[in-house]
Amino acid sequence: MTLGSVVATAPTIGSNTEMFEYKNLKFMLWDVGGQTSLRSSWAQYLTATNALIYVVDSNDRDRVALARSELHRIAADENLAKAPILVWANKQDVKGAMTASEISDALNLSAFRERTWQIFGCSALTGKGLTPGLDWLATTLTSKTP
């Protein structure tokens, strides 16, 4: 994750790992592929996970129901019981993309009554909306630290 610069990307095959620091917090980011054949391996990345960042393609109306079911499946994992969930509604720069509010409804985020979660519209291409999400996550994580 490179804030402030545009990085060319392609869909993740397998996983990519990146370490970064934000507001004096060190993050180990696992970018895992979302293809059907890779989803069964997601559980191996959840051990000792302190937060979940879930990125949704706001322009892909055909797969938002799948994104909802996968998010709820992952969030139910016992390793994530106390982990806050940051949802980025990506591709807000694309004309006709669903808003963050529409994505929130489509993902049924209100069902996470006992969870700390937040959704932010963003554009990974331009970087717009990424910082507010990370600010929220950093504040949430540090407020939970004894």
Residue 140 is labelled as binding a ligand: no
Is 79 annotated to bind ligand? no
Closest CA to 134 of 31, 49, 26: 26
Q: Please pick, among 2, 16, 17, 35, the residue that the annotation labels catalytic.
A: 35
Active site residue 35: yes
31 is an annotated ligand-binding site residue:
no
Residue 90 known to bind ligand: yes
Cα–Cα dist 95/89, whole Å: 14
Axis-axis angle for helices 64-75, 100-107 (nearest 10) = 60
> Is there a binding annotation on residue 105?
no
116 appears as a binding residue in the annotation: no
Between the CA atoms of 18, 100, 47 and 112, what dihedral angle is there, to the nearest 10 degrees? 170
Side chain identity, residue 116: T
Binding residues for Mg(2+): 12
Q: Which residues are annotated as a binding site for GTP?
A: 34, 90-93
Which residues make up each annotated binding site?
12, 34, 90-93
Show which residues are catalytic: 35
